[in-house]
Chains A and B, each alone.
Chain A
Amino acid sequence: MTSPLSVEEIQRVAELGRLKLSSEEVSEYTGQLGAILEYVAKLQDIDTEDVEPMAHAVEVQNVFREDEPRESLPCDAALVNAPKTDGEFFLVPQILGGGGA
């Protein structure tokens, strides 16, 4: 896993992260990310067999809010930063293909 990244892998990751990269960026990131991955590979030296992953800096549990309404934004405020709208909806170019869930 310490092998430097291939250009194809960089392109796959860029597609996954929805980033259009120039060919210069692709080759630049291929080198830079490869170097970073080589560096972080040092973590494999540590035995973490019985270690619980730590996803939160403060490990409290059961934080809830009650099921009580709070005021929503009016439609125009919801749409105020939209790049394209008809005053009621967000507009996007016609969607082709599937999404996810």
Chain B
Amino acid sequence: MNYTTVVGLEVHVQLQTATKLFCGCLNKFNPDNPNVQTCPVCLGLPGALPVMNRRAYELAVKTAIALNCNIAEFTKWDRKQYYYPDLPKAYQISQYDLPFSSDGWLEIEIDDETGETKRIGIIRAHLEEDAGKNIHDETGGNRDSRVDLNRCGTPLVEIVSQPDLSSAEEARIYLEDLRRLLKSLEVSDCNMQEGSLRCDANVNIHVHTDDGKTIATPLVEIKNLNSFRNVEMAIEYEAVRQFQEWQETGKTFGEVLKRTFGWNADRGFTFEQRMKEEASDYRYFPDPDLMPVTITSEQVGAIQQTVGESPVDMRKRFQEAYELSRYDASVIIDQGKSFSRYFESVGKKCGNGKSAANWTTQDVLRELNERKIEIELFPVTDETLGILLHKIELDEITVKSAREVFEILLAEADAGKSVTPARVDAIIDEKNLRIVSDTGELEKIINEVLRKNEQIVADFRGGKQGAIGPLIGQVMRQVGAADAKVVREIIVRKID
């Protein structure tokens, strides 16, 4: 007797709009200043009315197109009614029977080694508003809960997958791949700590009995799994729990209504949440304050144009075109579209993908993290870095010198100077970093050094290989930017 885990995920993604879904309040994570991003609309004040944010709808459609969904020609908004202090209207504007998109799929890579993929069905993606935030007294006392409505009304896309995920690991990979896709689309920052990406998991198991039968266990929804690790661990735990529960009770799918569970991340277990039984009667009905939306195939096509290459396709292309490892390509792509564009531009200019990858994922990324800025604001542009790295390829400068130039460029930018590609050559000249390729000049210096160091030359001739080091050193000190390899070759040739 064994069992398969069956999982469907409901993922909530906050869209990256400037303003909320139905009002002009800022859509900004701002937990330190509660209740400053509100207005009559998102406070649900009597008399206030919602008006749909065009950008939110377009980003939602873009998301659904990238998930291979059908975009509904006609969609409408419904009220989902329940009472909770973070929901000031006591209904959430959401979509019920006519979501703006349905029937899509996301291909996930379930095996790094073999590259084996699996297509996960998307039942639907719909657009809705987020609630505010309740902050509970966690001291165990009986103090009031606090309510902050800054987040209330933020646009969310809810993406509901088919129960096509067959393990906790697959669920995690789906979520990771989905996040990568959404980030590359630039529809959401997908910051899980800040709640921009949130996940609920519908879990049950299919027990395969020894006599060849398959028995499904009752469905459980685990709420609020807010990290990849928690998704994987909670599902793992829940599957085992359901197997034990089935062995004890024999209850199967359909005999027990869907239950809602929480996940205790600190202690690693799932637990049933107390729900008022009627809470599931949401009394959906079309919101009379909002008009339906229609979209033509031309409009869908126009949005499709903005979708661009999927992260998976881009990764494969980077691996091939720039001869990158899967890991390096993923690191770049996970930094988002702008960063990937930056990398590609550098790679093309310098002509060495591996070098471009090393520089962007190490030097550039480190500087971005230290400066806490996005690539768009990085002072060394893709063009400048590309030109600089190209000079390594041409043997004009050494890698060490390139790093020096890079640091000088940053220092100059920090000092408020403008850093143009032309500065690369200027700094190389100022610092005398150019590899001397004029062998006439170089040989003159080497001859001089050899003449002055007859004893060392004699030692070398006598078989003391290490003696060449000080000779190279002396030459290098005089020419500044010679390639040590070349210097060594000339010395050896001359001495022999």
Contact = CB atoms under 8 A, between A and B. Distances in A.
Direct contact between the two chains A and B in their complex (CB within 8 A): yes
Interface of A: 12, 15-16, 18, 55-56, 60-75, 78-79, 84, 86, 88-101
Given A55-B286, A69-B18, A89 B53 contact: no
Contacts of A79: 35
Nearest to B59: A67
B173 to A, nearest CB: 26
A97 B136 CA distance: 12
B51 interface: yes
Interface in B13-42: 17-19, 23-26, 33-40
Interface in B220-269: 223, 260
A68 B51 CA distance: 12
Contacts, number: 150
B51 A65 contact: yes
For the residues of B in contact with A, the DSSP-based class is: loop
A94 B146 CA distance: 9
Contacts of A67: 17-19, 53-56
A62 B278 contact: no
Contacts of B83: 18, 99-100
Given A61-B292, A88-B34, A98-B273, A69 B26 contact: yes
B80 interface: yes
A47 B135 CA distance: 51
A94 B51 contact: no
B279 A90 contact: no
Interface in B198-229: 223
B136 A72 contact: no
B85 A69 contact: no
27 contacts: A16-B281, A55-B288, A56-B291, A61-B294, A63-B52, A63-B290, A65-B54, A69-B25, A69-B26, A71-B24, A72-B39, A75-B35, A78-B43, A89-B147, A90-B35, A90-B149, A92-B144, A92-B145, A94-B136, A94-B142, A94-B145, A95-B85, A99-B279, A100-B82, A100-B84, A101-B82, A101-B94
Given A99-B82, A100-B282, A69 B276 contact: no
The 6 closest A-B pairs by CB, nearest first: A70-B24, A100-B82, A99-B84, A67-B55, A89-B146, A64-B54
A9 B147 CA distance: 33
A6 to B, nearest CB: 16
Contact of B145 (A15, A88, A95): A95
Given A56-B288, A68-B24, 17 more contacts: A18-B83, A60-B291, A62-B294, A63-B290, A66-B53, A67-B54, A68-B19, A69-B24, A75-B33, A79-B35, A88-B35, A89-B35, A91-B147, A92-B145, A97-B275, A97-B276, A100-B84
B428 to A, nearest CB: 46
Nearest to A99: B84
B297 to A, nearest CB: 15
A88 to B, nearest CB: 5
Contacts of B137: 94
Interface in B281-314: 281-283, 285-286, 288, 290-294
B7 interface: no
Given A70-B23, A73-B39, A74-B36, A93 B144 contact: yes
A91 B51 CA distance: 28
Contacts of A69: 18-19, 24-26
A95 B147 CA distance: 11
B134 interface: yes
B39 A66 contact: no
B144 A91 contact: yes
Interface in B158-207: none
B451 interface: no
A70 B275 contact: no
B6 interface: no
Contacts of B43: 73, 78
A73 B43 CA distance: 10
A73 B23 CA distance: 12
Contacts of B339: none
Nearest to A64: B54
Interface string B53-88: 111110000000000000000001000101111110
Instruction: Point out which of A56, A65, A72, A92 has the most chain B C-beta atoms below 10 A from its C-beta.
Output: A72
Nearest to A55: B286
B131 interface: yes
Contact of B144 (A71, A75, A94, A99): A94
B293 A92 contact: no
B134 A95 contact: yes
A92 B290 CA distance: 30
Given A67-B55, A78-B38, A92 B85 contact: yes
B90 to A, nearest CB: 8
A72 B25 contact: yes
Nearest to A93: B144
B274 interface: yes
A94 B275 CA distance: 15
A97 B273 contact: yes
A96 B17 CA distance: 33
B279 A63 contact: no
Contacts of B82: 99-101
B26 A95 contact: no
